[in-house]
Every structure is written in C-alpha cells, then in structure tokens.
Amino acid sequence: MAPVETRNVTDEEDGMRLDRWFKAHYAQVPHGRLEKLLRTGQVRVDGGRVKANTRLEAGQSVRVPPLPDAPPPPGTAKPLSKADRAFLKSITLYEDNDLLILNKPSGLAVQGGTKTAQHIDRLLEGMGHSPQTRPRLVHRLDRDTSGVLVIAKKRSVAAKLGKAFQTRSVRKIYWALVHGVPRPPQGKIDAALVKAATPDGERVRKARPGEQDKAQSAVTHYAVIDRAAQQVALMSLKPVTGRQHQLRAHMAILGHPILGDTKYPSEIELPEGIERRLHLHARRIAFPHPSGEGVVDVTAPLSPHMEAAFAAFGFSPKGGDMDEDDDVCGVSCG
C-alpha cells in the first residue's frame, strides 16, 4: 500500500475539477471510492475538505491517502496499433495543435463500461505518453448517436472548452428522423428531466410535480427541415442544455420519437427497408477556437444507415444544411 502522498497542481491543471484530476493521476480508483475518501476527509486540498467538483488552482497541494493499488507508471498505456491509427485517420474531420474533431460512428461508445472494451477513450489513451499528455474528451455522445465529437489535445485546452460548453457559447446542430411530423413545425421544448430506473436500465423522463429538487432543466429548439408525407420528418435539433438522452427524451415527449430508438421507442413500426438503429446524428458544431483566433465550424457527413434512410425518403443533405446562422466564418468545415 502506497504511503500518504502530497502532489502539487501544475499550471497545466489550473481550473481542473478535482475528480477529473484524480482520475488522471489515479485512474484505477473508482469514482464512488473517491467520493468516500472525500466524505471522510482523507483527500484534502491545501489542508481543507473539498468536494469532487472543486476547481483546482495552480500551486495548490492535494493530499492523497494510502491507496491499495499503486498508480500505473507513466508511459504504460498501450500504444495504438496500425489499424487503430488508420481508423482514427478515417474518421478525423479536423485537426490542429489543440484539437482533434472526429465523426464518431454509430454503435461505437465514447467511454468504456461493463463489457465495453472498444471505445474512443481507449484510443485516446494510446495517443499519449502518460495520463497527463493524452488527449481528452470535451463532451459526450451516446453510443448509438453518430457525428461530431470534439477532443482536446491538451489539458489547458480541455479546461477552456469545458467552460465554453458550460457557458453555452458552443453551437450544436443535430439531425434526426422522427415518426410523424411535429406541429407546429418549429418551436421550443422546455421540459425538465429526471433519471428513473426501469426494468431495461436507467432512462430519463419528464419531471413530475414535486420532483423539482432532482429535476434538471432541459431546453431544445427544433425545426422540421423536410417531410415524407405525414410518415417521417427530418428534424434540426439545437440543444440549449446538454442533458443525458435529452434529444431522444424530448422528441418522445413531443410525441415524435426518433426512428430506431430502443430506449425511448415508439409503437409505430419502422418503414420497410429502414435499419433498426438510432437515426440521430450530431451534424455540426461551432465554437471560438481556444487559441482566441477564429471560429471552429465543422460539419459531419451522415452515417451509412442515415444516408440510406435519406435516400429512401428522398431527403437531401444539402437542403438540410440551410440554417439561419450559416454566415458563421470557420477555420474548418467538413
């Protein structure tokens, strides 16, 4: 068992949440165990008790108690294979010294979990020489959602982008194919969400009266781009907030669930020839470049199963790209 350790927060780690700092240095310690160490005062910052979401400052000292499992030595991450590198290159939409932006395929998890060995975060581990130098996720997409995924190559860049996402200065556009055609064809869904256990696992649903204490505000702007009779609509979805499963739950609440969604399903059968997969795609993202120069504006091509659905319904990707804010000037556009 390792002795008590005191580590100083580096300039690169300034502004980082304590739980994320801890995961970077002691990845083998589960989050639940960290919470217990914090509750009992075994983990302290500058001698004081803190919470998992405490933002660290450069120069602060973090007390780390004896841990049964020693942290892995730097450089022990398995290097990327030739096949992994080729795969990452094939889904890269944009890259510079600070950023890596991918077109995540549907069905590929962003982070690992039970029985999930292949995921984006595993690939990122192989890109760094140590936990401190590896690229890191800035936001998340569901396993079955395809499209734009932003990754920071430096911890300082991740901190800047994290603040940008929190202050809602990041513009995101999703495309979805839904059952039926919403009326009115343009509007706002303002429905707070709560997590709830179901026989099929955890889901989110609309908050009920009396649940304000555990509800999370969730707002989505939507617009019908095109329709196939009254059967299916192509939607542009712009989330103001970023709750888990927000777009999927909001469209189900609106009465127009997303095609192929197994977590928030519809009793309506899928049209013939359409794959039973989630038809939700993170189409476009735009945000100020963390360097302070220019705007990053990236568009992700459709996934194969959504391309097939577009062809089946006669939808045009170019027509769907029309947007009232298309005058944004970007450093890159996919």
Q: Which residues are catalytic?
A: 142
295 forms beta bridges with 288
Residue 307, helix vs strand vs coil: helix
Question: Would you mind telling me the total number of residues written for the chain in this entry?
Answer: 334
In whole angstroms, what is the distance from residue 88 CA to residue 165 CA?
A: 24
102 forms beta bridges with 92, 149
First to last CA, the chain: 50
Segment 61-64 long-range contacts (CB within 8 Å, at least 24 positions apart): 61/6, 61/7, 61/8, 61/9, 62/6, 62/7, 62/8, 62/9, 62/18, 62/21, 63/4, 63/5, 63/6, 64/4, 64/5, 64/6, 64/7, 64/25, 64/26
Radius of gyration of the chain (CA): 21
